Amino acid sequence: MGNKDSVWIANGQGFWGDSILGPIRLVNEGPLDYLTLDYLAEVTLSIMQKLRARDPSKGFATDFVRLIDRIAPTIVEKDIKVIANAGGVNPHACKDALLQVLQKHGLEGVKIAVVEGDDVMHRLDELIDAGETLANMDTGEPLSVVRDKVSSANVYLGAFPIAEALAQGAQIVLTGRGTDPGLVLGPLIHEFGWSESDFDRLASGTVAGHILECGAQCTGGNYTDWRAVDNLAMVGYPIVIAKPDGTFTVTKHDGTGGLVTEDTVRHQLVYEMGDPANYLTPDCIAHFTSVNLSDEGGHKVRVAGVTGEAPTGTYKVSISYHDGWKSTGQLTVSGPDALDKAKLCADIVWKRLAFDGFEYGPDERMEEYVGAGVCHEGIEGGTTDDPPEVVLRMGVKGPDRAKVDRFGSELVPLVTSGPPGVTGFAGGRPKATEIIGFWPALLRKDLVETTVSVFTS
């Protein structure tokens, strides 16, 4: 545990695919104690499992290794600790790749911690045999319904294993699946010595992590009043300056673009929110209804008053499974009469497929007309009867891969055998791709064991 009266934590990765410039700029543009990076989503883990099955050296976020290659000397020089869930389903392979990067830069004595225990894919049958139904939280069905189709199963671990890794001197903490706010809460537990029963402070750290977890989405990105946001090209990624009592300030580095106000923070605060009075995590139940925001000016918003209570006795489990096949494609149809021509194109595709014996039910097919109000359908002012051009998007889905693949053969011919003005198709025929289904479930905490291993460069 440290002796700081404040800790600076920034998040430079809201999702796998976020700008690599975010974390690079964060470590160079101002002071920082911790850099967190969030790479994982439910479907990502399933993809990683398949990559690892084909190649034992794969199954992690390779972008993270490339990032560390660019910032390793800086984080060591400035003693910035990095916490990322980039380990995916193969954290040791990721660790090995990181050790090679550190060796390349001649950085010796750097400790990398690996947090494990989230991946329960190999234990599913054992757990089911022991009476764990792993019922779908939405439908109540037992996992046995789709057991033979499961492609990944990972527990959302909490923040305390991260704190344990930091206590062992880790400069880089590498995890698999955990809660997004836990990446931020872990350092606060470590620095301030918060206990497992300090629910108000744990809840405050959870709120801090939730505000940071989507990167620039709380500093002006994806903000409704976007014209008020200065220099989005160089938007400042968010920083939390946290205090031992659980209060914290949301800000960004001086001189960076973006905007930090009560409204930008509030926008992110209610993002992906279920019951705001009971935000469930493995570490606590946070009461988002207790949050008190106050704008201090200069792109600083203070957060105080957060309360919490004891967590439940279960972990949430993210399970992915094969749920059939899909195929989508699109064409651009130009005016005049763009919308009418686009609708004719769709009708032609369905009729030609039916002629060849391929029928798709209402739940198996999709057609939409981008430019004619599809994004805001049903909202006043969101449609137009005569757009100058329309993007026709069509797709099918179902359990039969061959039937789904057949659809892709009828979209391209419209360029020469449909109405005039069809263009914009350069991606080849649409192909069938796998649909990954999401199966949320609960698992008793006493059935999960976490471990922390530390390795030195």
Looking at residue 337, its amino acid is D
Among candidate residues 334, 336, 326, the one with its CA nearest the CA of residue 360: 326
Check: CB of residue 113 under 8 Å from CB of residue 202. Answer: no
Q: What are the tokens at 308?
A: 């919490």
Q: Taking the CA of residue 39 as centre, how many other CA atoms within 13 Å lie in the half-sphere pointing to its CB? A: 26
Structural contact between residues 312 and 367, judged by C-beta atoms closer than 8 angstroms: no
In the prediction, which pLDDT does 46 show? 80
Per-residue pLDDT of the chain (457 residues; tens, 9 = 90+): 456 899 999 999 998 888 899 999 999 999 999 999 999 877 788 888 888 888 888 999 999 999 999 999 999 999 999 999 999 999 999 999 999 999 999 999 999 999 999 999 999 999 999 999 999 999 999 999 999 999 889 999 999 999 999 999 999 999 999 999 999 999 999 999 999 999 999 999 999 999 999 999 999 999 999 999 999 999 999 999 999 999 999 999 999 999 999 999 999 999 988 899 999 999 999 999 999 999 999 999 999 999 999 999 999 999 999 999 999 999 999 989 999 999 999 999 999 999 999 999 999 999 999 988 777 676 655 556 788 899 999 999 999 999 999 999 999 899 999 999 999 777 778 999 999 899 999 999 999 999 999 999 9
Q: What is the reported pLDDT for 147?
A: 96
* Nearest Cα to Cα of residue 4 among 173, 198, 170, 190: 190
> What integer pLDDT is reported at residue 273 of this predicted model?
86
CATH 3.40.1130 fits 319-438, yes or no: no
String of DSSP letters for 101-127: HHHHTT--S-EEEEEE--B-GGGHHHH
Domain ranges of the chain: 7-118+156-312, 319-438
Distances (CA, A) of 149 to 88, 125, 146, 397: 20, 13, 5, 17
pLDDT at 383: 56
Reading the block at residue 277, the tokens are: 């009075």
Distance CA 279, CA 231 (A): 33
- Which is nearest to 62 in space by CA: 46, 75, 73, 51? 51
103, β-bridge pairs: none
Order of strands, sheet of 307-309, starting from the edge strand that comes earlier in the sequence: 279-280, 285-287, 307-309
User: What count of other Cβ atoms lies within 10 Å of the Cβ of residue 31?
Assistant: 11
- The string of DSSP letters for 5-50 reads S-EEEEE--SSTTS-THHHHHHHHHS--SEEEE----HHHHHHHHH
Residue 365, classed as helix, strand or coil, is: strand
Which segments of 115-225 does DSSP mark as H helices, in order?
124-129, 160-167, 182-192, 199-212
Q: At what angle do helices 62-78 and 21-29 cross, to 10 degrees?
A: 0
CB 112 within 8 A of CB 99: yes
What pLDDT, on the 0 to 100 scale, is given for residue 15?
86
Predicted confidence at residue 93, as pLDDT, reads 95
CA distance 49 to 143: 19
Q: What is the pLDDT of residue 36?
A: 98
Q: Cα separation of 342 and 392, whole Å?
A: 6
